[in-house]
Amino acid sequence: MRLDGRRGLTVVALACGAAAAVVLLAATRGWQEVVTERVAPLPPATTHRTGTDLAPWLPALGAVALAGAGALLATRGAARLVVGGLLSVAGAGIAAAALLTLGDGVTVAWPVLSALAGIVVAAAGVATVRSGRTWPAMGARYERPKRPDAPDGAPRRPASQAELWDALDRGEDPTTRDGGG
C-alpha cells in the first residue's frame, strides 16, 4: 500500500496515535498477581502489578509515540524524518519492554497487545522515513509575510524620525514588519 499524500499522512498519524493510546492504556492495567502467604489465621495477600510496575519506561515510550503522532502533522522535511526515526526507536522500545515482562505469572494479553502496538508505532516511523517527504505540510496561511525589500524577512527600521512621520502620512504602520495596517 502506497502512503503518499494527505491520505498517507492521515493513516500513519492516526495509526501511531491509536497505538500509543493502547500502550498507555495497557500500561495501567493489571499484568501480574503476586500472592504473598501470611501467618495463619491471616489470609494470603494479593498484590496486582501493572505494566508500569513491571516496565516503568513503557508509559514514557507511549507518551513519546503519542507526541510523535502529533509532530507528524506539525513538521516537514528533515524534521519529519527525525520524528520518523524517533517513532521507530520508540516503537521498538515499546515492543521490547512489553515482551521482556512475559513470564513468572504475567498475563499474556496486555504485554502482547502492547508489543503489537509498539510494532505499529515502529511501522509508522518507518513509513514516515520512507514516504514523509511526499506528505503535505501545515499551511503558511497564518505566518507573517516577508518584506521583499528586507533581507531574510527582517523588519526594516526607519533611519530617522522623518521617515517615521512620512510612513504615517502614507497610511503605513511603521511598527509592523510588513508596513501595512
Tens-digit pLDDT profile for residues 41-59: 999 998 999 999 999 999 9
Tens-digit pLDDT profile for residues 66-120: 999 999 999 989 999 999 999 999 999 999 999 999 987 888 999 999 999 999 9
So what's the pLDDT on residue 103? Answer: 85
Q: What is the DSSP string of 66-77?
A: HHHHHHHHH--T
Tens-digit pLDDT profile for residues 113-154: 999 999 999 999 999 999 999 998 877 665 666 655 555 655
The residues near 145 (Cβ < 8 Å, ≥ 6 apart) are 178
Place of cell 491471616: 42
Confidence at 163, pLDDT banded by 50, 70, 90: confident
Amino acid at 35: V
Greatest Cα-to-Cα distance within the chain, rounded to the nearest angstrom: 96
Quote the pTM value: 0.74
So what's the pLDDT on residue 31? Answer: 92
So what's the pLDDT on residue 157? Answer: 61
Alpha carbon separation from 73 to 3, 130, 135, 180 (Å, rounded): 14, 16, 9, 31
Residue 178 or residue 114, greater confidence:
114
So what's the pLDDT on residue 27? Answer: 96
How many helices and strands, by DSSP H and E, does the chain display?
6, 2
> Are the C-beta atoms of residues 51 and 101 closer than 8 Å to each other?
yes
Place of cell 515492543: 95
Tens-digit pLDDT profile for residues 4-29: 888 999 999 999 999 999 999 999 99
Distance CA 95, CA 93 (A): 5
